[in-house]
Structure 1
Amino acid sequence: MKLSALAAFVFAGATLAAEISGGVLWNGVCSDIRQLGQAKVVIDNAMHSANVLRSGKFSITDVPPGTHILNVRAHDYLFDTLRIDVPEPGENGTTANPVVRPYISGTPLDPPSTVVLPYPVVLVPRGKYNYFTPPTSFNALGMLQNPMMLIMGAGFLMVLAMPYLMKSMDPEALQDINVNQARIQSALASGDLKGGLSALMQTEEAVPAAPSPQRAGGAKKGKRR
């Protein structure tokens, strides 16, 4: 008795399940199975799946009634995502063909699209993935516009201009700067960042404006007749 009930349950489940079949429509994007390579048609994130045969056909069995999302997993080619509505079987056990509609991933399932596609399912290759990224060419202007390059260039110019600035400074102010620089180096060597910062501030305050040169003989006298 139990075996007969189990057999009846299995038979009822097999009767409710449907088969979804179709094939790949070869075109200029992908002309045959050799270009397509190994591909699989999956429903509801691989809850049900089937491989694409050499003829381009596929058949997914034991699909329960309801709304399902069909995708093609291919390494190099892009296919449309489809919505498959499997109807409930009729009173006499007959089942109508599944209804195929276009579907955009991430959009609500309801309301369904008014566009109905033919059945069996027709899978059309829409494009080919490009995994190669061409290397960028050398751009000298872009390198010079880099902030790090600008900072390095400004530092280089300061190094070149420093001797001329030192020559135009007052000897006493130059001596104070040398003393403060020695203090900064000593503080940094000992790890005293606070003392080094204090010496740096004193160095900036000690730099006076360069005195304008004056004539030793005063103003030029008028020409003697």
Structure 2
Amino acid sequence: MITFLRSLLFAIFFYGLTVPLLAFGLVASVIGWPPVTSIAAAWSRLHRLCARWLLGQKIRIEGTLPDGPYLYIFKHESMFETIDLPTLLSSPAIFAKRELLDIPVWGRLGRRYGILPVERTAGASAMRAMRRAGREMAAKGRGICLFAEGTRVPHGSRPPLQAGFAGLYSLLGLPVVPVAVNSGLFSPRASFIKRAGTITYRVGETIPPGLDRKEAEARVHAAINALNS
């Protein structure tokens, strides 16, 4: 019952406060990118504060997380890490499925912020578009985040990496920072109930550009699954 009540309070406060932030962001988007970035960071911090004080979820980072034009590959178990990225990193650009950018208001702000669409069925043309968008963001000094498994997965599962990682790794020529996360233990996908506990990010060894595809994929896959039970 306590867990349910905590989850209910989280939903009321976080999503209730999200609405005015979206409205404010829509107005600010007319000015340009900087105010949208500030609002996105505020929204992300609001999420972390609500998770900490309403759900009892603490954050622990194991290892050193560099900031800058890296290709960050995250384990994806929950919406938690998606929303937490602007707090975890400085204004990261994030690859996400195009459907998210079709959501009214949120999609417009996402594009303005730096959410980069992934067309899952467009083949080579999609990869060229991702490469172009990634290079533009890296040239601005922004980190680029990718959930290389393609979608949220239950904690403990180890699906193969999608082909998009290998393409971006080869074409962008950026060092890769793999990050494991165990958020699925406390904020499971497709579940209203969220539990107290410590959500851990474990930063793997930075992988240099230019490695053989199989080696790069193997190293990333092992690193992002380092917290699997």
TM-score range, shorter chain: under 0.3
Q: TM-score, normalised by structure 2?
A: 0.21
Q: TM-score, normalised by structure 1?
A: 0.21
The structure with the largest helix share of the pair is 2
The structure with the largest strand share of the pair is 1
